Amino acid sequence: MTNRTVEAPAQPTTPLRLEDFVGDVDHFFTEYWAREPAFLRAQADLTTLISEQEMWDELECGLLSRPYFTVFDHGTRAAIADITTTRTVVGHELQGYADPVQIRQRFAAGGTLKFSQAEHWHPRIRALVKGLESRFHGGLEAFVFLSPPDRTAMSAHTDGAHVLILQVSGTKDWVLGRLDRTSHSDSTLHEGEIPPRLRMERTLRPGDVLYMPHGCPHYATARSGNSIHVAITVEEPTSVDLASVYLAGLLGDRRYDAISANHHTEGTLATIERLRSALGSFLADSESSDVLDKAVNLRRTHR
């Protein structure tokens, strides 16, 4: 095991596109999206996304703070107090800044370093995420994982989103399960073993891409070399998001205004019936595409 860092990659001249990861985009959405996991080969150099040197430099510069980083080891998250320090900023003592010494020690002991929402502070990953947004109906976030060899950061779990895994360096063994009638949308630990009839296994090497539909249980173990992968999550609007858009639209509609202005002169049952009628009329008039656009915007602005 080693903490040896490598040179930063040459930066790409243009942001990577979805085509660079999945090839034929129409085929990808028709055959795999929300249906089946897919193992693909990138048609672009993924090593240009981020390097191990950049990750350590980001920690050493002293500006990165919680919740943009954490350390995992076999499913156990490091205590915040153990990997952070206090800094004096304009005369104020502020907590939660990365402690690079402690994080390096935990990495050397087998921990996996995770950078969260890298699109907020890493220019190339930000350009990648912004470029991908137009291809998906959902909110996108990027997470970067740096793992030492022969370590499993987390036990089998499901994410509350679709996930694109981009293997940047090193190798990583993935175990995942296909969707079936028992699949769910929660982000939680997976109970029990992934059954053989649903189980898939594959080793990802630099340039490999893995797509996992929302609800696939999975875990991964780094193998040769320090492994870096970037996970792009796509969180589509939930039923609550869609209901919120419909409700907000109704509350701003003239049909609701008429009921609200006179409800005190009618009985409660009569008001219920008027609301039921207004809601049905409002839903019939609503354009699905408009509702979707507003729900997607809601998902992207409340992350």
Q: Which residue ranges form the domains of the chain, and what is each CATH number? A: 18-235 (2.60.120.650), 239-301 (no CATH)
> Within 10 Å of residue 40's Cβ, how many Cβ atoms?
17
For position 6, what pLDDT does the model report? Answer: 47
pLDDT digits (tens, 9 = 90+) for 94-107: 999 999 999 999 99
Q: From the first residue on, what is the mean pLDDT of each consecutive set of 10 residues in the chain (303 residues)?
A: 48 80 97 97 95 95 91 90 91 92 95 96 95 95 96 90 97 95 85 91 97 95 95 94 93 91 87 92 93 90 71
pLDDT digits (tens, 9 = 90+) for 17-40: 999 999 999 999 999 999 999 999
Name the H helices within 116-195. Answer: 123-132
Q: Is 243 helix (H, G, I), strand (E, B) or coil?
A: helix
For position 2, what pLDDT does the model report? Answer: 44
Give the CA radius of gyration of the chain. 23
Paired tokens of 137: 């109906």
For position 5, what pLDDT does the model report? Answer: 46
Distance between CA 56 and CA 101 in Å, rounded?
10
Amino acid at 163: V
HEC-encoded secondary structure of 46-112: HHHCCCHHHHHHHHHCCCCECCCEEEEECCEECCHHHHEEEEEECCEEEEEEECHHHHHHHHHCCCE
Paired tokens of 296: 């997607």
Residues in the chain: 303
**pTM attached to this predicted model:** 0.88
Say which residue the tokens 């080793």 belong to: 203
Residue 256, H or E segment:
helix 254-262
Q: Is 259 helix (H, G, I), strand (E, B) or coil?
A: helix
